[in-house]
Amino acid sequence: EAKRAGRGRFRVFEDGMDAALRDRRELEIDLRRALALKQFSLHYQPFIDLQTERTIGFEALIRWDHPVRGRVTPADFIPLAEETGLISKIGEWVLRTACATATTWPDEMSVAVNVSPVQFKSDNLIETIVSALAHSGLPAHRLEIEITEGALLEDTSNVLKTLHALRDLGIRISMDDFGTGYSSLSYLQKFPFNKIKIDRSFVQGADEGGDNEAILKAIAGLGLSLGMAITAEGVETPEQLARIRGEQCTHVQGYFTGRPMPADGIATFLQA
Ligand code: C2E
Ligand code: MG
Ligand code: MG
Ligand code: MG
């Protein structure tokens, strides 16, 4: 009896595995076709200078509108795109589209583009970026590249080479989601970032004071003394905004100051 129940459970588990694998295979097949079928779009979220209270740029965030599944979030397909190598073509499309769109904005506004760790380590990253700038006519100083610590983990000398090549072109580099995962304060000294984006877990967790507030203060203080701009991510309330002002952050990005929006919403947003 017990044996039979056990076997039954195993079968259910196996069928569950099959379903998950099938689902992943289907998603992969669809992802391969998504570019050609024009299912991707970019949304843009403003970031604001706390001193002047002006929008100084927008971060490009990819969206995938799947004909059956509806909108698939980047967290659900970027890892798959990385595993399958599709990220290089998708990333190239993001860079070209974001740069072209930014040329329609006021001159002083930047566009920030996320580059995943796999993409960051690919041999043709610099070439792709240079080509996107050349095709769009966007000046290099209006492009920011956002990387996460995953891009920094191995092969320090190649990472440094790439970062310096970007800096030499006049492109700015932001450390995204800082404070999560393995990030180490020594990264801030070792790598030439222009900006640190403090992960929203610290910003939102700082409401109650305590450890998160202390960490926020420490990162902002260290970054500033190393000459970097500090963005607080994920600010959703006026209380959080007031707090990060007190912690010497230089920039803010979050639902409170502006949600990600399609490119055609930007002109209206900037008028308001
Ligand atoms: P990220 O680069 O840290 O982007 C910020 C994420 O936080 C975005 O989620 C944004 O919509 C969300 N967000 C912004 N303000 C708030 C807030 O106040 N509260 C909350 N709860 N969330 C907020 P999204 O668009 O789902 O993107 C998730 C991640 O996917 C991004 O994190 C980035 O790592 C990755 N990603 C997005 N677009 C691209 C892309 O074009 N290429 C690559 N390689 N990765 C991308
Ligand atoms: Mg980002
Ligand atoms: Mg982030
Ligand atoms: Mg993130």
Residues 6+ apart with CB under 8 A from 256: 235, 236, 237, 238, 240, 241
Number of other CB atoms surrounding residue 66 within 10 Å: 16
Residue whose CA lies nearest to ligand 1 atom number 35: 74
Q: E-strand spans in the chain?
A: 40-49, 54-66, 70-72, 110-114, 143-147, 172-178, 195-198, 229-233, 251-253, 261-262
Residue whose CA lies nearest to ligand 1 atom number 11: 260
DSSP state of 142: G
Residues whose beta carbons lie less than 5 angstroms from ion ligand 4: 177
CA 26, CA 66: separation in Å to the nearest integer? Answer: 12
**CA nearest neighbour of 200 among 244, 265, 258:** 244
Residue whose CA lies nearest to ligand 1 atom number 20: 234
Per the rule left: phi > 0, alpha: psi between -120 and 50, beta: everything else, 95 is alpha
CA 262, CA 42: separation in Å to the nearest integer? Answer: 7
**What pLDDT is recorded for position 225?**
92
Residues 6+ apart with CB under 8 A from 90: 35, 40, 62, 81
Instruction: Answer yes or no: is the C-beta of 73 below 6 A from any ligand 1 atom.
Output: yes
Helix (H, G, I), strand (E, B) or coil at 130: helix
**CA nearest neighbour of 89 among 128, 50, 123:** 128
Residue whose CA lies nearest to ligand 1 atom number 33: 114
Instruction: Answer yes or no: is the C-beta of 236 below 6 A from any ligand 1 atom.
Output: yes
Ligand 2: centre distance to CA 167 (Å) = 18
Helix (H, G, I), strand (E, B) or coil at 28: helix
95 with 129: CB under 8 angstroms? yes
**What pLDDT is recorded for position 13?**
59
Residue whose CA lies nearest to ligand 1 atom number 12: 234
- Among the atoms of ligand 1, which is closest to the Cα of residue 98? 41
Ligand 4: centre distance to CA 178 (Å) = 9
Ligand 1: centre distance to CA 6 (Å) = 42
Q: Residues of the chain whose pLDDT is less than 70? A: 1-16, 207-209
pLDDT in tens, 187-242: 888 999 999 999 999 888 876 667 888 888 888 998 999 999 999 999 999 999 99
Out of 72, 84, 89, 114, give the residue to mutate to test ligand 1, the one with the largest number of ligand atoms within 8 Å of its CB.
114
Residue whose CA lies nearest to ligand 1 atom number 10: 260
Instruction: Answer yes or no: is the C-beta of 237 below 6 A from any ligand 1 atom.
Output: no
